[in-house]
Amino acid sequence: MTTTLRITHNKEMRALINKIKNYGLNNNGIIFGGLVRSDIIGGHFRKEYFKKNDDISRYWDINYDIETKYRTIIPKDLDIYFKNENDYNSFIITLNNMTKMLNGYIEIKKNNSNIRYLFNNNSLNHFKVTIEFRIGKTISYSGIKLTFSIDVIYNKNNTEHSIEPPFYNLDFLSNIFLMEQTNNSIIIRLSNCSGTPIDDMNYIDKSRISTKIMNDIIQHKTQFTRNISNYNTENINCYRIIKMIEYGWNITNIPFNIIYINDFDKNDDSLNDKCCICLEKLKDEENEINKIFQINTNKIKDYKVHYTCFINYLKIEQRKNNLNPITGENECKCPYRMPFNFKDCYKLISYD
């Protein structure tokens, strides 16, 4: 007799993440960052899927109902904050018990180098937790590995309960939402410590901009808000921007944007221009190139480059850690050697 076990990786990952999420919320944790963003996106497209379909068996088939494919979105990791050490310890004990019960593996390492969380916040402790499981394991088959990372932060000073993520250091508007549990209900709300003008808005204005940001999130659209200023600001800014672009996000207030050749008029001569990085034509029907970047560092005239060429260029530029000899600060420059000045992008945001 043969028994077949069908395992859907994304379905199992989502079940694991939901367990960890609920453990954190039940221990008074505040979840922030990419998981909240993913839940907003997934929740919207899940609702749209069930408006049109009643076939639950096709839900995890990403090739079915492409318009709602983001219903199966899986966050890369989880960021969670605890206001005191006791709640943190309780959460870790719960995770340890879960991994033992499921014959998993857990590793906990202290992280003292993450500027994103610890900048100007000496009361915060930051730990990196990695969890690993094998599902579908048999005597002759090693199973499928599930690995998930958790950034856990707790406040060493139990009297400072007013601070919350992102600790006045918001990087993108899409990361301004927090998830917490109140009266046995899970809510998503705006952070009161974003470091943006939103913190000081009244209830009505906050409600209005909350809806706007959520609508942008559903479209994978956001704005870069980071306004920290130190010697390596641009290096960190560039790294985060690259990461978001590779996740498929459109960042609308930085000095370059993604455009699609298919959206151009076929007679547009600019498509015959050459990419200044590889010196090949922008339009290459043989290789089916469609996505390109438009660079806006020159105030007089913008220019266009291939998507892959520019992403590779930007990664190399970010790793160079070039310092301005006058200011002593890190710089990232475009292919024509004009500074991107990511540190000033927050000034272009309108909160009206």
DSSP codes of every residue in 192-205: S-SSSGGGG--HHH
Average pLDDT, the chain: 91
- Confidence check: pLDDT of 54 > 60: yes
Q: Does 172 share its domain with 256? A: no
User: Is the Cα dihedral 131, 238, 37, 53 positive or negative?
Assistant: negative
Q: State residue 334's pLDDT score.
A: 96
The answer to whether residue 282 is domain-embedded is yes
204/304 same-domain check: no
**What does pTM read for this prediction?**
0.92
Q: Is residue 330 part of a domain?
A: yes
Least confident of 98-102, 114-118, 274-278: 114-118
Give ∠ CA 108-172-187 in degrees, rounded to 5.
70
Q: Within this chain, do residues 242 and 169 fall inside the same structural domain, yes or no?
A: no
In this predicted model, what pLDDT tens digit does every residue of 90-113 receive, in sequence order? 999 999 999 999 899 999 999 876
Mean local confidence (pLDDT), 304-328:
94
Domain tally, the chain:
2
Structure tokens at 22: 């609920």
Question: Among 198, 222, 246, where does a domain finish?
Answer: 222
Cβ contact 163:192 at 8 Å: no
Residue 2 inside a domain? The answer is no
Domain span including residue 277: 233-348
Q: Is residue 155 part of a domain?
A: yes
Same domain, 107 and 155: yes
My answer on whether 134 and 97 are in the same domain is yes
pLDDT of 119 strictly over 80: no
Helix (H/G/I), strand (E/B), else coil: 20: helix
Residue 4 lies in a domain: no
pLDDT, position 298: 85
Residue 59: inside a domain: yes
What is the sign of the dihedral through the CA atoms of 327, 332, 337 and 341? Answer: negative
Residue 39 has pLDDT above 90, yes or no: yes
In 69-181, which ranges are continuous DSSP H helix? Answer: 85-101, 115-118
CA–CA distance, 11 with 71 (Å, rounded to integer)? 11
**CA 331 → CA 159, 169, 229, 293, 320, distances in Å?**
39, 20, 12, 20, 9
- Is the pLDDT assigned to residue 319 strictly greater than 70? yes
Round to whole Å and give the CA distance between 138 and 136. Answer: 7
Positive/negative CA dihedral, 327, 333, 339, 342: negative
Contact call for residues 328 and 237 (beta carbons, < 8 A): no
Q: Is residue 46 helix, strand or coil? A: helix
Q: Does 89 lie in the same domain as 207?
A: yes
